[in-house]
Amino acid sequence: MNPLNLSRRQFLKNTGIVGGGLVIGFSLSGCSTPPWPIAEVEGGYSPNAFLQFTPDNAIRFFCPRDEMGQGVMTGLLTLIAEELDVDPQRFTLDFGSVHPDYNNPGMGVQATGGSNAMRAHYHQLRQVGADTRSLIVAAAAHDLGINKDQITTENGEILVDDERYPYSDFIATAAGMELPENSPLKAHSTFKYIGKDAPRVDALAKATGTAPFGIDARVDGMHHAVVRRSPVAGAMLVSVDKQTVLSMPGVTDVLEISSGVAVVAEKYWQAKTAAAALDPTWSEVALSEVSTETVKADYNAAMLKDEGISATSEGDAASAFTAASQVLEADYWTPFLAHAPLEPMNAVIRLGDNEAEIWTGNQSPVGVQGLVARFSGIEQDKIRVHNMYLGGGFGRRGTLTHIIEVTEIAKASGKPIKLTWSREDDIRHGLYRPASLIRMKAGLDEQGNIHAWQAKRAGGNISPDTLKNVFPALFPGLGDGTLNFLADLAEDVFASYLADPSSIEGLAEGYDLPNHDVQHFTVDHGLPLTFWRSVGHSNNAFPKEVMMDELAAAAGMDPVEFRLQNTKNNPRLHNVIRVAGERMQAMNPPEGHYLGFAAHGSFATDVAEIAEVSVENGKIRVHRVTCVVDCGLAVTPDVVRAQMEGGVMFALTAALSGRIDLRHGEVVQSNFHDYQILRMDEAPDIDVVIIRSEDDPTGVGEPSVPPLAPAVANAVFAATGQRLRSLPLELSYGRLMPNSASTSSVCSPCLGGRW
Amino acid sequence: MIKFTLNGKTVETSEDPNTPLLWVVRETFNLTGSKFGCGAGLCGACTMHIDGMASRTCIMPVAAVAGKNITTIEGLGTPDEPHPLQAAWVEHSVPQCGYCQSGQIMSAAALLEQNPNPTEAEVESAMAGNLCRCGCYPRIKSAILATAGPALAYNAAKRTGSEAEA
């Protein structure tokens, strides 16, 4: 079958910054044509990489993006289904394997993240659906000997007068025809599925335990692997006694791999038990000396010592501060965080002589393929990647070090391998949301306008680690020397010349800040860092939005009024604040409950949140969160609601208890007893208000995260008078006081360890 | 050999008796709907029914279930014949990533068996052992409360059916 690629131009472009992270765009020109990704079915027809029609009138959808819970399967299918005129619930579901047609149009590479799937695919996949429908209509007109304009369609059927024919009747003819281009798209007013509520298409599989996750894959002859890694990231194996473990039940291999020692056994429990019995010793690295307190002190020292890189600026902040009528300054701390997706990292691999297969849920199938090629020596095109449902991603499954591990283990043992990380592996050996020390300084004029704004951020950067992990995956042909050179170069550039966008995003955007200055101070202790749901915004909205409340108090203004006055040049954020403000005004919280407000734009979406909070016996309890979102057209509104709900819960876990600490370089936390996730009896009710919009859709997976922590902190201030500037939020017991009229005052940077 | 009943069938295993039930069910009996989340009984992803009680099977040695009656998510309902809770999960679009949902549903099913008309607080309390990292709690709660009656009737019918077969 000859694939007819739609508008190939759309698939192969774009270099840029997406979702705060540095994304590498590259052209595939010069590469050999990769194998067609869809397995042929007798009598079936695939007009493109996204659809396969079969004679039984089934239509299979190959989702180009990875489904990690964000509802992308439902959302993207709805785009195609709308224009193809088939109910989304009628499709069978599959994931695209590796092929350039599945590239993310907003990234130029096959990867999922940055809340960009709907914005990147909105026009593309509608066009795919519309062109495919035109083709089937043309084939039907040909077979029935009538004009195309005598034909209408309805839910996968061709309608001619009173006769109905399933699309599948015409796929044989369609297969021999040219696929039309630029078929007209539906007007919004005629949408049947877009903008309507319907169940998620993957809900039944996920409710019956039949949805395939990576951890569920099995292959003949498969053995299980468990890896012991250094408790301090980056340390190397010095010695290990393999012999005692080799004699344990079921154990077949004990292997030194690049990340540590792997135990291979017939069963998982045997591998786990044997790995626990190993007693490896590890080298010392610089990180071995580091604790959480060291990190904080080093960040502070860097700010006091250095000038920092000027990241963004406008106007003349320095002069503006001298002209300001009031100046506030405060320090804010946000900790390292783990993602803790409920499905730990895992993969199943089978290496053949000159081909291989791998099953794993991941955020970049082409990256998986590249790493397997690099570490097995098998040609990239001969490696089949079976993408699976992801048991949570949150940014964690974009980094694929476990794919290197499983490939090394399979190669060295000569066996098909399932690698399963434990929860302790996940919490202690992962990559983390960077910690940040943020020093905010803001000046007001007499009218309550933000006249001057300065934000300094100290901490590590995500992009060098991202490049270190992405380069070997995307360019498996490049040698280690070149890769190390590029990785070192990236690290130097972000440390000395160019602020990593992921580090500073959200510190000075959204509001009218005519005189502002953002400075960055890179201090990297060597703990691996990566994207964590909403990336830099997860750190930076907290200081920005708590400071907004501090400024409002200093100006003697209502926090919503203050924000409205200072967002006049950003109509969409302004409107979200207005709508949420009206909701807040109408709220009548019970006695002892207090409201807090915050708003933030990220991933091209604006969100305002109101947290209803009480403080009982020193414990912060969030009862209700109202979330107002403008994400353009809500293609699948219930998925938007679910993402707002989920983002609020994810952020609330971080706000109330999330912290990864270091002691002698080792991560202190290890499992859900000390890295606690919000439970149902602590979960707030959540109201989601979606602003009606005809604009193109924008991101929804991440933007409800950033405003939550500051909204809760601002409510805690209303409840107690305590201004909490450190995450997770902890009340100072000695200072508990009833709500008072205390106003914000000038806060000097607090260096005593409590931010 | 350790013998027990798995979704209505008698099975036996020669696994190391210390192996947690979860791994025996997933690897030996190839039922992968029950998930591994923490290995410490903290998250509930591995929840199955042991003699009708919702139990964390990642810390339950298989030797401890000898002679007992085990039900997994696969035994509760199927895509063609979903349990009312599973149907409610679809209707309320509960799952996001979906990884925890087998455990959530098994805990909910055990709750409704024991307490057919739970209050909201009773649902919260019974479900507090099941973590959802995606934050589906409000929908889980709604789906359970919406199902309480039908689920009860369904279970009663199923029991009658199995008695009739026996």
B chain contacts of residue A644, beta-carbon cutoff 8 Å: none
DSSP state of A148: G
For an interface test with A, the pick among B96, B119, B131 (most A C-beta atoms closer than 10 Å) comes out as: B96
Quick one: average pLDDT of A75-87?
A: 98
Question: What crossing angle do the helices spanning B120-127 and B137-165 adopt, rounded to 10°?
Answer: 80
Structure tokens, A353:
């002589």
Min Cα distance A221 → chain B (Å) is: 13
DSSP line for A264-330: EESSHHHHHHHHHH---EE---GGGG--HHHHHHHHHHHHHH---EEEEEES-HHHHHHH-SEEEEE
Which residue type does A197 have? D
Q: How confident is the model at residue A477 (pLDDT cuts 50, 70, 90)?
A: confident
> Would the CB atoms of A391 and B99 count as touching at under 8 Å?
yes
CA A462, CA B80: separation in Å to the nearest integer?
46
The answer to whether A23 and A114 have CB atoms below 8 angstroms apart is yes
Which residue type does B90 have? V
Helices (H) then strands (E): counts for chain B: 6, 5
List Cβ neighbours of B115 (8 Å cut-off, separation of 6 or more): B122, B126
User: Which range (A275-279, A471-475, A699-703) has the least confidence?
Assistant: A471-475
Handedness of CA B84, B85, B86, B87 (dihedral sign): positive
**Closest residue by Cα to residue A597 from A498, A711, A466, A458:** A711
CA A635, CA A638: separation in Å to the nearest integer?
9
pLDDT digits (tens, 9 = 90+) for B14-49: 999 999 999 999 999 999 999 999 999 999 999 999
The shortest CB-CB distance from A680 to any of B73, B94, B141 is to B141
Q: How many CB atoms neighbour CB A481 within 10 A? A: 8
The shortest CB-CB distance from A206 to any of B31, B101, B130 is to B101
Give the predicted TM-score (pTM) of the model: 0.93
- 3-state SS of A435-484? CEEEEEEEEECCCCCEEEEEEEEEECCCHHHHHHHHHHHHCCCCCHHHHH
Backbone angles phi, psi at A440, to 5 degrees: -105, 140
pLDDT digits (tens, 9 = 90+) for A248-258: 999 999 999 99
Structure tokens, A133:
């429908």
CA–CA distance from A545 to each of A71, A370, A449, A724 (Å)?
Answer: 29, 41, 15, 12
Structure tokens, A579:
């709508």
Q: How confident is the model at residue A27 (pLDDT cuts 50, 70, 90)?
A: very low
pLDDT digits (tens, 9 = 90+) for A163-176: 999 999 999 999 99
Q: Which helix (H) or strand (E) holds A502?
A: helix A501-504
Which residue type does A28 have? L
For an interface test with B, the pick among A92, A200, A208, A671 (most B C-beta atoms closer than 10 Å) comes out as: A208
Residue A426 forms contact with B (CB below 8 Å) = no
> Which residues are bridge partners to A660 per DSSP?
A336
**Closest residue by Cα to residue A87 from A199, A189, A208:** A199
User: What per-residue confidence (pLDDT) applies to A30?
Assistant: 40
User: What per-residue confidence (pLDDT) applies to A306?
Assistant: 79
> Would the CB atoms of A207 and B101 count as touching at under 8 Å?
yes
Min Cα distance B92 → chain A (Å) is: 7
Q: Which helix (H) or strand (E) holds A416?
A: none
CA B123, CA B143: separation in Å to the nearest integer?
11
Which has more pLDDT, A191 or A29? A191
Which has more pLDDT, A361 or A32? A361
The shortest CB-CB distance from B98 to any of A211, A646, A672 is to A211
CA A673, CA A662: separation in Å to the nearest integer?
17
What percentage of chain A has pLDDT greater than the value 90? 87
In this predicted structure, the answer to whether residue A544 has a pLDDT above a threshold of 80 is yes
Helices (H), A326-385: 365-376
Q: How many CB atoms neighbour CB A489 within 10 A? A: 12
Helices (H), A556-697: 559-565, 571-586, 637-657
In the three-class reduction of DSSP (H, G, I as helix; E, B as strand; rest coil), residue A630 is classed as: strand
Q: How many CB atoms neighbour CB A568 within 10 A? A: 11
A chain contacts of residue B59, beta-carbon cutoff 8 Å: none
CA–CA distance from A394 to each of A338, A433, A454, A648, A653 (Å)?
Answer: 10, 11, 30, 13, 14
DSSP state of B27: I
User: What per-residue confidence (pLDDT) applies to B150?
Assistant: 63
User: What per-residue confidence (pLDDT) applies to A751?
Assistant: 33
In this predicted structure, the answer to whether residue A752 has a pLDDT above a threshold of 70 is no
Backbone angles phi, psi at A535, to 5 degrees: 55, -125
Residues 84-123 of A with CB under 8 A from B: none
Q: Strand locations in A617-744, DSSP E?
A: 619-630, 662-663, 666-667, 685-690
pLDDT digits (tens, 9 = 90+) for A545-557: 999 999 999 999 9
User: Which range (A12-26, A371-385, A648-662) has the least confidence?
Assistant: A12-26
CA A261, CA B45: separation in Å to the nearest integer?
28
Cα-based angle A7, A9, A13 (whole degrees, multiple of 5):
140
> Would the CB atoms of B73 and A681 count as touching at under 8 Å?
no
List Cβ neighbours of A454 (8 Å cut-off, separation of 6 or more): A317, A321, A440, A441, A442, A516, A517, A518, A519
User: What per-residue confidence (pLDDT) applies to A484?
Assistant: 87
Min Cα distance A670 → chain B (Å) is: 10
Quick one: average pLDDT of A33-56?
A: 92
CA gyration radius, chain A:
27
The shortest CB-CB distance from B131 to any of A424, A647, A679 is to A679
User: What per-residue confidence (pLDDT) applies to A486?
Assistant: 87
CA A590, CA A358: separation in Å to the nearest integer?
55
The shortest CB-CB distance from A672 to any of B42, B97, B124 is to B42
Residues 163-222 of A with CB under 8 A from B: 199-200, 202-211, 213, 215-216, 218
CA–CA distance from A717 to each of A268, A546, A584, A754, B7 (Å)?
Answer: 49, 10, 16, 17, 53
User: What per-residue confidence (pLDDT) applies to B152?
Assistant: 59
A chain contacts of residue B136, beta-carbon cutoff 8 Å: 642, 645-646
In this predicted structure, the answer to whether residue A57 has a pLDDT above a threshold of 70 is yes
CA B125, CA A75: separation in Å to the nearest integer?
34
Min Cα distance A672 → chain B (Å) is: 6
B chain contacts of residue A393, beta-carbon cutoff 8 Å: 97
User: What per-residue confidence (pLDDT) applies to A490?
Assistant: 87
In this predicted structure, the answer to whether residue A342 has a pLDDT above a threshold of 90 is yes
User: What per-residue confidence (pLDDT) applies to A24?
Assistant: 35
List Cβ neighbours of A469 (8 Å cut-off, separation of 6 or more): A399, A400, A401, A530
Structure tokens, A668:
């202190």
CA A204, CA B83: separation in Å to the nearest integer?
11
pLDDT digits (tens, 9 = 90+) for A511-536: 999 999 999 999 999 999 999 999 99
User: What per-residue confidence (pLDDT) applies to B33?
Assistant: 98
What percentage of chain A has pLDDT greater than the value 70? 93
Residue A268 forms contact with B (CB below 8 Å) = yes
User: What per-residue confidence (pLDDT) applies to B157?
Assistant: 60
User: What per-residue confidence (pLDDT) applies to A620?
Assistant: 97
Quick one: average pLDDT of A438-456?
A: 98
Which residue type does A311 have? A
The answer to whether A665 and A607 have CB atoms below 8 angstroms apart is no
List Cβ neighbours of B150 (8 Å cut-off, separation of 6 or more): B84
Q: Which helix (H) or strand (E) holds A570?
A: none
> Would the CB atoms of B96 and A216 count as touching at under 8 Å?
no
Residues 693-732 of A with CB under 8 A from B: none
Q: Which helix (H) or strand (E) holds A21?
A: strand A21-23
Quick one: average pLDDT of A379-404?
A: 96
User: What per-residue confidence (pLDDT) applies to A151?
Assistant: 98
Residue A373 forms contact with B (CB below 8 Å) = no
Blockwise average pLDDT, block size 10, chain B, 166 residues: 97 97 98 98 98 98 98 98 97 98 98 94 97 98 89 56 36
Q: Is A387 exposed, middle or buried (0-12, 13-18, 19+ CB in 10 A)?
A: buried
Min Cα distance A688 → chain B (Å) is: 12
CA–CA distance from B132 to each of A652, A701, B92, B94, B98 (Å)?
Answer: 13, 16, 16, 11, 9
B chain contacts of residue A681, beta-carbon cutoff 8 Å: 124-125, 127-128
Residues 633-662 of A with CB under 8 A from B: 638-639, 642, 645-650
The answer to whether A739 and A154 have CB atoms below 8 angstroms apart is no
Min Cα distance B50 → chain A (Å) is: 18
> Would the CB atoms of B124 and A215 count as touching at under 8 Å?
no
Structure tokens, B155:
């279970």
Quick one: average pLDDT of A210-226?
A: 98
Quick one: average pLDDT of A134-153?
A: 98
Min Cα distance B49 → chain A (Å) is: 15
> Would the CB atoms of B39 and A683 count as touching at under 8 Å?
no
Min Cα distance A746 → chain B (Å) is: 38
Min Cα distance B19 → chain A (Å) is: 6
The answer to whether A584 and A560 have CB atoms below 8 angstroms apart is yes
A chain contacts of residue B23, beta-carbon cutoff 8 Å: 267-269
In this predicted structure, the answer to whether residue A291 has a pLDDT above a threshold of 90 is yes
A chain contacts of residue B45, beta-carbon cutoff 8 Å: 342
Min Cα distance A582 → chain B (Å) is: 24
The answer to whether A501 and A17 have CB atoms below 8 angstroms apart is yes
User: What per-residue confidence (pLDDT) applies to A738?
Assistant: 42
B chain contacts of residue A609, beta-carbon cutoff 8 Å: none
Residue A674 forms contact with B (CB below 8 Å) = no
User: What per-residue confidence (pLDDT) applies to A25?
Assistant: 35
CA A598, CA A600: separation in Å to the nearest integer?
7
Residues in chain A: 755
CA A529, CA A538: separation in Å to the nearest integer?
14
Residue A276 forms contact with B (CB below 8 Å) = no
Min Cα distance A383 → chain B (Å) is: 25
Chain B residue nearest residue A702, CA to CA: B134
> Which residues are bridge partners to A596 per DSSP?
A611
CA B117, CA B121: separation in Å to the nearest integer?
11
CA B144, CA B127: separation in Å to the nearest integer?
10
The label of the residue with tokens 């320095």 reads A318
Chain A residue nearest residue B121, CA to CA: A681
B chain contacts of residue A70, beta-carbon cutoff 8 Å: 96
Which residue type does A552 have? A
User: What per-residue confidence (pLDDT) applies to A488?
Assistant: 87
In the three-class reduction of DSSP (H, G, I as helix; E, B as strand; rest coil), residue A520 is classed as: strand
The answer to whether A245 and A277 have CB atoms below 8 angstroms apart is yes
> Would the CB atoms of B95 and A69 count as touching at under 8 Å?
yes
CA A326, CA A67: separation in Å to the nearest integer?
49
Strand bridging mode A356-360 / A346-351: antiparallel
Chain A residue nearest residue B99, CA to CA: A391
How many residue contacts between A and B have a Cβ separation below 8 Å? Answer: 188
Residues 62-91 of A with CB under 8 A from B: 67-71
